[in-house]
Structures are given as structure tokens and as C-alpha cells.
């Protein structure tokens, strides 16, 4: 069940912290998304390419679509014409492919670098060490058709709020470090995408600028 009151509460919490809500609409049908759209929400997140493309085609064109799931390089071409922000860039190969497809479409695509902050090995993302190596070699600076807008991370799936808070705090700290070292003259490097239904409140307290919330708004999947 969709909850408009939850949507309004979460939007308000985000705004109070100058953060943005990405409504995660994966698996949810067009009419449900339309209901949320009609309240004024314009940023939606999806994690599968085919579903994202279908929804893009069927829904109003002023929606800003966010790719938040694992993205295979060979599928970048399908979303390159329209995607607003790719949160889940977790390899150099993927960054290169996004750059290539963005160039073909004569545009610059916004991306976030996904950082592995959780204890679980199952979660993806660059390690902090990998990112530091990549940035000090300027391996991404050459890619003129991507714009690196910040970092994304997912906390450990746990009830232990201290663990979650420490992971978010660590990501924020790492963001500040990278900002000061590699992005000090790039104002577009300003986003920290962290926080989901279970932990967005902690994420906002720890400096998130984009929360990605699905089930708290759309109901269980």
C-alpha cells in the first residue's frame, strides 16, 4: 500500500536537512508511480535497466530517473539517452562505458562513486583504497562526458544503529577528504547518497544529501 502521509513526512525530514528524496519505485506499477508523481515528487529510483526503460517511456518526461542498482556495462546504452544520475558506479570499466555512451548521446551523465562501507562482503562498491588510487592516477578525470557528483553507500543490514551510524559517518568523512584533495574546485561534487527506509533518519543526521526510500512509501515489495 502506498502511503502519501509517509511520503510527506519523509520529504519534510529530507528538506529540513537540505537533502533530496529519491522515491524508489522498483517493482511498482505505473499507476502507483503516477499517484506519487501527482503529489509533486519528481525523482524516482530503479534498479533494473529494462524496467527503468519501460517506465521512462510510459511516464511524464519531467521525471528525473536515478539508477541505483548494479549496472552491467553492456546495458548502459539503453539508459544513456535519458538517465539523470547513476548512483551505482562501482568499477572503472563501468565509468568508461558510461562516458562512451554519454558521448554518443552528446551529453554529460551524472554519476556517483559507490563505496563499500558495510561489513557484508555481498555488497558491492569500490574500497576506499581503490578510489584513492583511481583518483590519484586521474583515471576518471580524463572522462569528459561524466560528471562525478559524489559518493553512494549502503550500510550493513542490521538492527544495530551504532554500526549503521558509524558507517554513514565514515562515508561522510571520506567524502570530505576526497572533496578537499581531489574535488576542491568542482562544486558538482556535493552529494552523499545514503539512507533507505530502515535507516534514512540516521543517514540524514550524518549528512546524507540524497535518501533512497522505497518500501516506507510504496509498501512492501
Ligand X SMILES: *Cc1c(COP(=O)(O)O)cnc(C)c1O
The smaller minimum CB distance to ligand X, of residues 81 and 198, is found at: 198
The smaller minimum CB distance to ligand X, of residues 110 and 143, is found at: 110
The smaller minimum CB distance to ligand X, of residues 47 and 110, is found at: 47
Q: How far is the CB of 99 from ligand X (least distance, A)?
A: 22
Query: Strand pairing partners for 15?
Result: none
Of all residues in this chain, which one has the CB nearest to ligand X in the complex? Answer: 214
Note the residue count of the chain.
221
Binding site for ligand X (CB under 6 A): 24, 26, 47, 68-69, 154, 196-198, 212-216
Among 200, 217, 221, smallest CA distance to 209 is for 200
The smaller minimum CB distance to ligand X, of residues 189 and 200, is found at: 200
Largest separation between any pair of C-alpha atoms in the chain:
48
Q: How far is the CB of 144 from ligand X (least distance, A)?
A: 27
DSSP state of 126: B
Query: What are the distances in angstroms from CA 121 to CA 14, 116, 125, 161?
Result: 29, 9, 10, 19
Amino acid at each position: 500500500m502506498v502511503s502519501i502521509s509517509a511520503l510527506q513526512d519523509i520529504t519534510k525530514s529530507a528538506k529540513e536537512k537540505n537533502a533530496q528524496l529519491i522515491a524508489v519505485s522498483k517493482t511498482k506499477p505505473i499507476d502507483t508511480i503516477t499517484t506519487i508523481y501527482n503529489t509533486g515528487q519528481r525523482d524516482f529510483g530503479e534498479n533494473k535497466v529494462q524496467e527503468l526503460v519501460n517506465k521512462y517511456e510510459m511516464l511524464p518526461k519531467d521525471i528525473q530517473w536515478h539508477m541505483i542498482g548494479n549496472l552491467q556495462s553492456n546495458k548502459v546504452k539503453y539508459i544513456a539517452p535519458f538517465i539523470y544520475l547513476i548512483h551505482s558506479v562501482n568499477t572503472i570499466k563501468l565509468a568508461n562505458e558510461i562516458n562512451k555512451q554519454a558521448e554518443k548521446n552528446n551529453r554529460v551523465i551524472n554519476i556517483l562513486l559507490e563505496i563499500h562501507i558495510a561489513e557484508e562482503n555481498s555488497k558491492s562498491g569500490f574500497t576506499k583504497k581503490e578510489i584513492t588510487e583511481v583518483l590519484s592516477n586521474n583515471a576518471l578525470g580524463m572522462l569528459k562526458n561524466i560528471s562525478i557528483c559524489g559518493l553512494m553507500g549502503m550500510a550493513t543490514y542490521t538492527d544495530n544503529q551504532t554500526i549503521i551510524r558509524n558507517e554513514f559517518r565514515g562515508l561522510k568523512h571520506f567524502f570530505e577528504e576526497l572533496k578537499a584533495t581531489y574535488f576542491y574546485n568542482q562544486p558538482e561534487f556535493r552529494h552523499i547518497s545514503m539512507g533507505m527506509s530502515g535507516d534514512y533518519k540516521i543517514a540524514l543526521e550524518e549528512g546524507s544529501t540524497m535518501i533512497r526510500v522505497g518500501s516506507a512509501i510504496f509498501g512492501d515489495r
